[in-house]
Structures are given as structure tokens and as C-alpha cells.
């Protein structure tokens, strides 16, 4: 009788109730894990980094212009590296590096539009390099826009304070530098196929 029970119970022992851990590690549970991973956010948005970089670039530009207006304007230029680099205060009614002085209002509108576009793009921003690049653009645009609004000759027509004067090159300021560096970084990121949302694509 014991021999018969042993023979009857044999098929049920490995495949019975004790097999639940094997089912949890099967294909169904693997696909469920992948769905859970896909449902998770890919990471915190980089909005804090974007605005921190923008605030730093803006503050640096604003402070430098205040010092230049107070200490350098209406004074002789200061030579930094001989004739190759000097600080010389000028008022620029045009775009970056002195281009287009007849279109001050248009450049003001463009700067304001850039700021709005960056603010909207920040909602979908997950890439740290893109956050740094857009932060530089935002800080630079805000720096020059502040001059356009608050400096003479009038609102939206104000002349930007420039003071960095390399030899055989246009005079510019730190806001211009931030805009150029941010633009170069964006071009490099685009060539690498990195999108603002953190995804990488290949053409």
C-alpha cells in the first residue's frame, strides 16, 4: 500500500504547489519587469541645472557690466595681454559682436522669443549637456535683453555694454560669450544625435 502511494504521488511532487517560484521567474514575469522599467521616468528633469547655469551666466554678465560702466567707461582702455587683448567700454546698439546696429528692436524681440522657447523646452528636458547648453543661451539672452530694456537711449532700444576687445576682432561681452558657447555645444550635441529628452538617435 505504501509502495502504491509513493508511485501515485511521484508525478505531483516537482510540478505541484512548490513550482510557484519557477513561474515568477518565467517569461511572463520578465516582460512585466520590462514594462515596469519602461513605465518609470527616465530620470529627473534637468530644469534645476538649466536655471542654475542661466542664473550664474546672467549674474556674471550683469556684475561685469556694472563694474565696466562704473570704472572703465569714459576712461582709457586697459591692456590685459599687450595689444592682443584689452578691456574697452563701448555701447553697442546691434546684435552680438556689433552686427546690425539698425535693428535693435528686432534683436530685442528675437532675444525675448529665445527665452520663451527655452522655457517651454525645459518641460521635456532630461539631458544634462542640453541643460548646460540651454542654460548658457538663456543666461546670455537675459543679460543682453536687460541692457536692451533698461539702458539708454530707451526701452527695447538700449545699447548693450561691450568691453572684451581682442585684436582684429569685434568687441563683445560675457553674455555674447555664453550665447556662442551654448550654440557650439548644441551643434556638437546635435551631431552626436543626443536629443534634449535624453534619447540618442542615428541618422
Per the residue annotation, which of 147, 162, 195, 203 is the catalytic one? 162
What does the chain look like in DSSP terms, one character per residue? -HHHHHHHHTTHHHHSGGGHHHHHTSHHHHHHHHHHHHHS-SS--SHHHHHHHHHHHHHHHHHHHHHHHHHTTTS--EEEETTTEEEEEEEE-SSGGG--GGGHHHHHHHHHHHHHHHHHHGGG---HHHHHHHHHHHHHHHHHHHHHHHSTT-TTTPPEEEEEEETTS--B-HHHHHHHHHHHHHHHHHHHTB-TTS-B---
Instruction: Specify whether 176 is catalytic.
Output: yes
Decide if 28 is catalytic.
no
Q: Which of these is catalytic: 28, 36, 176, 195?
A: 176
Q: Write out the catalytic residue numbers.
A: 162, 176
Amino acid at each position: 500500500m505504501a509502495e502504491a502511494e509513493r508511485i501515485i504521488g511521484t508525478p505531483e511532487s516537482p510540478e505541484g504547489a512548490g513550482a510557484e517560484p519557477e513561474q515568477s521567474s518565467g517569461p511572463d514575469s520578465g516582460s512585466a519587469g520590462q514594462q515596469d522599467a519602461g513605465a518609470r521616468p527616465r530620470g529627473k528633469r534637468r530644469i534645476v541645472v538649466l536655471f542654475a547655469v542661466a542664473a550664474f551666466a546672467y549674474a556674471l554678465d550683469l556684475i561685469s557690466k556694472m563694474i565696466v560702466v562704473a570704472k572703465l567707461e569714459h576712461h582709457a582702455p586697459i591692456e590685459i595681454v599687450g595689444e592682443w587683448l584689452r578691456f574697452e567700454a563701448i555701447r553697442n546698439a546691434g546684435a552680438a559682436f556689433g552686427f546690425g546696429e539698425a535693428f535693435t528692436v528686432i534683436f530685442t524681440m528675437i532675444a525675448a522669443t529665445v527665452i520663451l522657447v527655452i522655457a517651454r523646452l525645459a518641460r521635456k528636458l532630461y539631458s544634462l549637456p542640453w541643460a548646460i547648453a540651454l542654460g548658457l543661451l538663456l543666461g546670455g539672452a537675459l543679460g543682453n535683453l536687460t541692457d536692451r530694456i533698461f539702458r539708454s537711449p530707451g526701452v527695447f532700444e538700449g545699447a548693450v555694454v561691450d568691453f572684451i576687445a581682442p585684436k582684429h576682432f569685434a568687441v563683445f561681452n560675457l553674455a555674447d560669450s555664453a550665447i556662442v558657447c551654448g550654440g557650439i555645444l548644441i551643434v556638437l550635441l546635435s551631431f552626436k544625435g543626443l536629443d534634449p529628452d535624453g534619447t540618442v538617435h542615428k541618422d
